[in-house]
Amino acid sequence: MKHLIIIGNGIAGITTARHVRQQDSRVGITVISAESEHFYSRTALMYIYMGHMTYAHTKPYEDGFWAKNRIDLLQGYVEQVDTSTKRIRLADGKWLDYDVLVVATGSVSTTFDWPGLTASGVQGLYGLPDLERMEQFTTGIDRAVVVGGGLIGVELAEMLRSRHIAVTMLVRDPHYWSSTLPAEEGKLIGRHLLRHGIDLRLETELKEILAWRGPAGPRSADASGRVRAVVTKAGEEIPCQFVGLGIGVTPNVAFLKNSGIELGKGVLVNEYFETNVADVYAIGDCNEFRQPIVGTDGALRKPIEQIWYTSRMHGETLARTICGSRTAYRPGVFFNSAKFFDIEYQTYGTLNAQLTDDEQTYYWEHPAGEQCLRINYRKTDQSVVGIHAFGLRLRQAVCEHWIQQRTPVENVLSQFRQADFNPEFSEFYTDQLAGHTPAGSPNRRKGWFRRLFSTTH
Ligand SMILES: Cc1cc2nc3c(=O)[nH]c(=O)nc-3n(C[C@H](O)[C@H](O)[C@H](O)COP(=O)(O)OP(=O)(O)OC[C@H]3O[C@@H](n4cnc5c(N)ncnc54)[C@H](O)[C@@H]3O)c2cc1C
């Protein structure tokens, strides 16, 4: 292989480039990306808007790193991939040859066919251009609507509240993020949003977006289709000057439609990230596994996982294959974390919104309603399959070990201090926890939390 082209300089593409360079000092590496010249941390976008970070802070590497490692960066948009001649065409008409091509083009914000969607001041949050637009359309405004109850919806709400903009949040389901969270956790976050002044409307769906039309209103932008309100399916009109869409993301693969590379929702790949075309691979948010991937803990992973650390693992694994050691993707115990305003969230293993027939759950919530812990385990052998923590910080290695080793739930609870990152928390709350009967837990387990937080390391 003489020339590796990677489309996309996100965490997936950049990890591949770095790891290939570590293993192969001779191959030419070109990373082409449309959004920015350099790799930056997409997960930190909200902090730029909130003034906690600058764009420069979000770049994990010095700008000189790339030249030093002979990784060529090219800012441009790839419009066409011609797999028969092994070439790609950029938007400026330039063609480039590849020996191996990696598609790492991430996602795009999902939208629906709502009337009025094209009004200005209506947008998702995915990249730097969105941040610029948001800056432009939220300066000086006082009312916004966020549509969607997921992670990006909450980020949008927090960003807007940081500028004292009133936020109404429309969530279709009976509780927040019901596709992922069991009802107790969804309600906990819902209460937290209310405490932060969010006007949270559950079971409320968007029907239409209204824009200013006709003669110019008091603001010059009003004549040009600027959003003025949303209408819910129940017929309520909610005035606003900005609409943030947080209804999910979709693999960014539309530009490959006529390339001969097989697409499902994402670029279809096998466990080696190989597409149907020789020497073309796809990783990160934009790929979709044809067959389910099984983790080292035996759990089935979703065919599309749009998660930062998953994309990084894809890049690391693919680099080995590209450098001659064909390696199947075999992820460990699933892990993710996020923050909902002040509440930190960690999830390990398999913990779905609904229990399966073979699962039982243990749920504890602090009476103040801002911290909770859920442990799901198998009915058959009591082994732990998943752990959720809200407002408690747990040690990743310990939780993963328990799940990987199929540790019985009683052992997990009796050793729980090993996972607790904030022992001062456990000491402070021991009494309340011990006196609390967690919802959904069998009565015989009432005393577990006394033991849990009084056992020494
Ligand atoms: C606001 C926000 C917050 C998030 N927070 C979290 C979090 O807290 N935890 C977590 O695990 N995940 C989070 N995610 C998801 C995480 O950021 C993604 O899973 C991850 O960035 C995917 O990496 P990637 O390399 O696959 O793609 P991306 O980071 O999307 O990079 C792909 C790049 O390819 C470029 N590109 C696309 N098409 C072309 C083309 N045709 N030509 C040239 N370039 C192209 C794009 O411009 C983009 O820069 C968040 C995502 C968003 C949007």
Tens digits of per-residue pLDDT, 330-362? Answer: 999 999 999 999 999 999 999 999 999 999 999
* Closest alpha carbon to 226 in 241, 216, 206: 241
Whether residues 7 and 104 share a domain: the answer is: yes
Dist CA 142 CA 321 (whole Å): 52
Does the residue 255 lie in any domain? yes
Does the residue 115 lie in any domain? no
pLDDT tens digits for range 220-242: 444 569 999 999 999 999 999 99
Does the residue 330 lie in any domain? no
Whether residues 93 and 182 share a domain: the answer is: no
Matching residue, tokens 């992922």: 180
- H helix or E strand, kind and range, residue 206: strand 206-211
Please state whether beta strands 287-289 and 267-269 pair in parallel, antiparallel, or not at all (unpaired): parallel
Ligand 1 center from residue 159 Cα (angstroms): 19
Structural domain ending residue among the three candidates 231, 247, 263: 247
Structural domain ending residue among the three candidates 297, 322, 347: 322
User: ∠ CA 84-86-88 to the nearest 5 degrees?
Assistant: 110
Burial code (b: 16+ CB inside 10 Å, e: under 16) for 410-439 equals: eebbebbbbbbeeeebbeebeeebbebebe
Does the residue 328 lie in any domain? no
Whether residues 129 and 236 share a domain: the answer is: yes
Does the pLDDT value for residue 54 go beyond 70?
yes
pLDDT tens digits for range 79-120: 999 999 999 999 999 999 999 999 999 999 999 999 999 999
CA torsion angle 3 75 110 120 (round to 10): -170
Does the residue 114 lie in any domain? no
Matching residue, tokens 């080696």: 272
- Worst-scoring range by mean pLDDT, 220-224, 286-290, 300-304? 220-224
* Closest alpha carbon to 201 in 241, 161, 159, 230: 230
Neighbour-count burial of 190, counting CB atoms closer than 10 A to its CB (0-12 exposed, 13-18 middle, 19+ buried): buried
Does the pLDDT value for residue 432 go beyond 60?
no
The reported pLDDT for the residue numbered 214 is 59
The reported pLDDT for the residue numbered 454 is 33
Whether residues 59 and 173 share a domain: the answer is: no
The secondary structure of residue 299, as a DSSP letter, is P
Does the pLDDT value for residue 433 go beyond 60?
no
Does the residue 149 lie in any domain? yes
CA torsion angle 398 401 407 412 (round to 10): 0
Query: Residues 243-263: what's their mean pLDDT?
Result: 97
Percentage above 90 pLDDT, the chain: 87
Which residues have CB under 6 Å of ligand 1? 7-13, 32-35, 42-43, 45, 77-78, 104-107, 125-126, 152, 155, 252, 255, 284-285, 306-309, 311, 336, 338
Does the residue 78 lie in any domain? yes
Dist CA 223 CA 120 (whole Å): 11
Residue 230: other Cβ atoms inside 10 A: 24
pTM value is 0.92
Ligand 1 center from residue 337 Cα (angstroms): 16
Ligand 1 center from residue 354 Cα (angstroms): 28
The reported pLDDT for the residue numbered 417 is 87
Whether residues 135 and 150 share a domain: the answer is: yes
Percentage above 70 pLDDT, the chain: 90
The reported pLDDT for the residue numbered 453 is 38
Ligand 1 center from residue 44 Cα (angstroms): 11
Tabulate helix, strand, coil % of the chain (nearest 5): 30, 30, 45
Does the residue 113 lie in any domain? no
The reported pLDDT for the residue numbered 427 is 55
Matching residue, tokens 């066409």: 80
Structural domain ending residue among the three candidates 247, 272, 299: 247
User: ∠ CA 287-334-4 to the nearest 5 degrees?
Assistant: 35
Does the pLDDT value for residue 280 go beyond 90?
yes
Residue 202: other Cβ atoms inside 10 A: 17
Query: Residues 126-143: what's their mean pLDDT?
Result: 97
Whether residues 340 and 450 share a domain: the answer is: yes
When pLDDT is cut at 50, 70 and 90, the band that residue 448 belongs to is very low
For 278, residues 6+ apart whose C-beta sits below 8 A from its C-beta are none
The secondary structure of residue 383, as a DSSP letter, is B
Query: Residues 386-399: what's their mean pLDDT?
Result: 96
Does the pLDDT value for residue 180 go beyond 70?
yes
* Closest alpha carbon to 295 in 255, 344, 365, 348: 348
User: How many domains is the chain built from?
Assistant: 3
Whether residues 446 and 353 share a domain: the answer is: yes
The reported pLDDT for the residue numbered 420 is 84
Does the pLDDT value for residue 423 go beyond 70?
no
Whether residues 432 and 342 share a domain: the answer is: yes
Query: Residues 409-423: what's their mean pLDDT?
Result: 87
Whether residues 202 and 291 share a domain: the answer is: no
Residue 442's domain comprises 335-455
Task: Collapse the DSSP code of 348 into the 3-class scheme (helix H, G, I; strand E, B; otherwise coil) and give the result.
Answer: strand
Whether residues 100 and 135 share a domain: the answer is: no
Ligand 1 center from residue 167 Cα (angstroms): 26
Ligand 1 pocket test, pick from 5, 30, 32, 33 with the greatest ligand atom count within 8 Å of Cβ, gives 33
The CATH number for 94's domain is 3.50.50.60
Whether residues 242 and 259 share a domain: the answer is: no
Q: Which atom of ligand 1 is nearest to the CA of 307?
A: 19
Dist CA 418 CA 438 (whole Å): 21
Task: Calculate the CA 275 to chain-centre distance.
Answer: 24
The reported pLDDT for the residue numbered 318 is 98
The reported pLDDT for the residue numbered 303 is 97
The reported pLDDT for the residue numbered 213 is 79
Tell me what the pLDDT averaged over the chain comes to.
Answer: 91
When pLDDT is cut at 50, 70 and 90, the band that residue 366 belongs to is very high
Ligand 1 center from residue 229 Cα (angstroms): 30
Whether residues 166 and 242 share a domain: the answer is: yes
* Amino acid identity for residue 69 in this structure: N
Does the pLDDT value for residue 422 go beyond 90?
no
